[in-house]
């Protein structure tokens, strides 16, 4: 019985690969980057849309109207680059990159690359 279950899983995985539908690879965000970050030190809750609060979990991040599911990551020095599937508001999900650069234990820069609805410049956040 157990053998049949494993065989079915293997067949399903092979079919998904053959059909061009690879399994998603989820990121595992380093613990030191998880949590809430603010673009305005000392204010960690949005006030009328004025404060961008960045929330990072093990596999996604969100701020203002933007949400991203994170995939494979590459580390280079103090920078972490992740494949991402992101959306803004009601826009369709698009593929791109999320780059996080840690300056200190309580300070990071965030850059989203490959998305037409956001400027490709670093946004600075401090830990809440």
Residue 31 located in a structural domain:
yes
Average pLDDT over residues 57-67: 93
Total structural domains in the chain?
1
Q: How far is CA 11 from the centre of its chain?
A: 30
Residue 100 confidence (pLDDT) above 80: yes
- Domain holding 50: CATH number? 2.40.128
Q: Does 33 map to a domain?
A: yes
Nearest 10 degrees: CA dihedral of 89, 90, 91, 97?
40
Q: Given a cut of 70, is residue 96 above it in pLDDT? A: yes
Q: Is the pTM of this model over 0.85?
A: no
16 found inside a domain: no
Tell whether 41 is covered by a domain: yes
pLDDT value for 52: 82
Long-range contacts of 54-63, Cβ-Cβ distance < 8 Å, separation of 24 or more? 54/110, 54/125, 56/29, 57/29, 58/27, 58/28, 58/29, 58/34, 59/26, 59/27, 59/28, 59/29, 61/29, 61/98, 63/110
Query: Which of 35, 51, 34 shows the shortest CA–CA distance to 43?
Result: 51
Flag whether 64 is in a domain: yes
Q: Is 18 part of a structural domain of the chain?
A: no
What pLDDT score was predicted for residue 15? 34
Dist. CA 81–CA 89, nearest whole Å: 23
Decide if 5 is inside a domain. no
Q: Contact 70/63 with Cβ under 8 angstroms?
A: no
Find the domain containing 37 and state its range: 24-127
Q: Report if residue 10 sits inside a domain.
A: no
pLDDT tens digits along 4-58: 333 333 333 333 343 343 434 455 799 999 999 999 877 888 777 667 899 999 9
Per-residue tokens: 119:
């400027």
């Amino acid at each position: 019985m157990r053998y049949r279950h494993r065989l079915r899983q293997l067949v399903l995985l092979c079919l998904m690969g053959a059909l061009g539908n690879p399994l998603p690879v989820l990121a595992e965000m380093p613990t030191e980057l998880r949590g809430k970050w603010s673009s305005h030190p000392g204010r960690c809750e949005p006030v009328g849309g004025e404060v961008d609060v960045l929330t990072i979990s093990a596999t996604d991040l969100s701020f203002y109207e933007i949400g991203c599911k994170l995939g494979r990551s590459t580390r280079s020095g103090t920078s972490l680059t992740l494949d991402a599937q992101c959306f803004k508001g009601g826009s369709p999900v698009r593929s791109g990159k999320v780059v996080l650069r840690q300056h200190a234990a309580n300070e990071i820069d965030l850059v989203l690359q490959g998305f037409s609805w956001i400027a490709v410049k670093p946004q600075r956040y401090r830990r809440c």
